[in-house]
Chain A
């Protein structure tokens, strides 16, 4: 019985070693992206999100300023841009959520990218330089959180209208909800400001990561 158990433990040990060996391969093989790729991809998602958000905020501003007779068409335009925003925002918001959920662990991937040099000495040096970027990552996290929170406020307005007014409400219903439009514009502008700040932060983070990757 004991020898069988010992045999089982050996197999388990061997499997564990194989897994560890496999992980080493995963972390150092060619699958590693180029330095700064993670930041650049996030930048692309946030840039796409910004464009859709700006369209929707503009449409909401027009709704606030619309005369009574064109309120319904202005509202329809808000709904159309909101629809696009819902789809386009998923990638940027998902990344911001993941970044927050995983905390500092998230940046290990960026470090991996930056430290994927060919020789061990260069990798070690790059890792040391990367350690100095922790403060920058904290700012990325803070700005991402702000984008997430401010965006949510704007989305809440849009969804509330959709639930309360529907997609093609009567002019009288739109007129009744008029007081709700201005706060939505404020929320939208705040979300845009947060996104712009995040884009600036990501730009300097990308530069810092590239600098850390190259001696």
Chain B
């Protein structure tokens, strides 16, 4: 009996988030990895009375964060088009965009941590596809990050990165909505 209670503590949400976060850290570059939320971080959305409610709240929070990330990329792109855009402006914008994107990963990871409870291959596949999508979108940061580190930052490249991120995150958000049924958000 004591062992059962202990098992319940071990299979806590914090632990699940920890596993997901550890995986993400393994997949992403070091700069992005630093921004990952730590295991045991509080949920970014309200846990509902049922699993479907929780997933629905989580999907909504993820969708909202995706919108904010796309918006941040779009605004940064607009600013970067201006000839007066300086490296200091870039540093602030780039960090903000990375934080927005990382928040998106973090909130989606929290949603994905609930998916195994559905015991549905459809839901698990949908979560894996969306997760992989975020990993691929994160690659868009790389060329600009490399240029920045090499001191050869190119304003037009920054604009291009922002456009790719803006469009890709909007597409990802559409996929999230399209996958609501597979994720068990809509029955």
Q: With contacts A19-B51, A86-B164 known, is A167 near B156, CB below 8 A?
A: yes
Q: Which of A9, A38, A94, A106 contacts B130 (CB 8 A)?
A: A94
User: Which B120-140 residues have a C-beta within 8 angstroms of A?
Assistant: 120-125, 128-133, 135-137, 139-140
Q: Which of B136, B142, B143, B147 contacts A90 (CB 8 A)?
A: B136
Residues of A within 8 A of B123 (CB): 26
- Report the interface size for chain B: residues with CB under 8 A from the other chain: 50
Does B168 sit at the interface, judged by CB under 8 A? yes
B2, closest chain A residue (CB):
A5
- Bound together, the chains give a CA A106 to CA B123 distance in angstroms of 10
Nearest-Cβ distance from residue B25 to partner chain A, whole angstroms: 16
Does B31 sit at the interface, judged by CB under 8 A? no
Whether B143 lies near A159 (C-beta < 8 A) is yes
Does A168 sit at the interface, judged by CB under 8 A? yes
Whether B121 lies near A106 (C-beta < 8 A) is yes
Does B6 sit at the interface, judged by CB under 8 A? no
Does B3 sit at the interface, judged by CB under 8 A? no
Whether A87 lies near B132 (C-beta < 8 A) is no
Q: Which of B122, B131, B136, B140 contacts A109 (CB 8 A)?
A: B122
Whether A167 lies near B128 (C-beta < 8 A) is no
Number of cross-chain contacts by CB at 8 Å: 116
- Report the interface size for chain A: residues with CB under 8 A from the other chain: 42
Q: With contacts A25-B187, A83-B164 known, is A168 near B156, CB below 8 A?
A: yes
Residues of B within 8 A of A90 (CB): 133, 136-137, 168, 171-172
Q: Which of A33, A93, A109, A111 contacts B132 (CB 8 A)?
A: A93
Does A102 sit at the interface, judged by CB under 8 A? yes
- Bound together, the chains give a CA A9 to CA B82 distance in angstroms of 64
A to B CB contacts below 8 Å, 11 in the list: A26-B119, A26-B187, A31-B181, A93-B136, A94-B129, A95-B132, A97-B129, A98-B125, A101-B128, A155-B139, A163-B157
Binding site for B on A (CB under 8 A): 5, 9, 12, 19-20, 22-23, 25-27, 29, 31-33, 38, 79, 83, 86-87, 89-91, 93-95, 97-98, 101-102, 105-106, 108-109, 111-112, 155, 159, 162-163, 166-168
Question: Sorted from nearest, which 10 A-B pairs have the closest CB atoms?
Answer: A108-B121, A166-B154, A97-B132, A98-B128, A167-B156, A94-B133, A94-B132, A163-B143, A163-B146, A98-B129
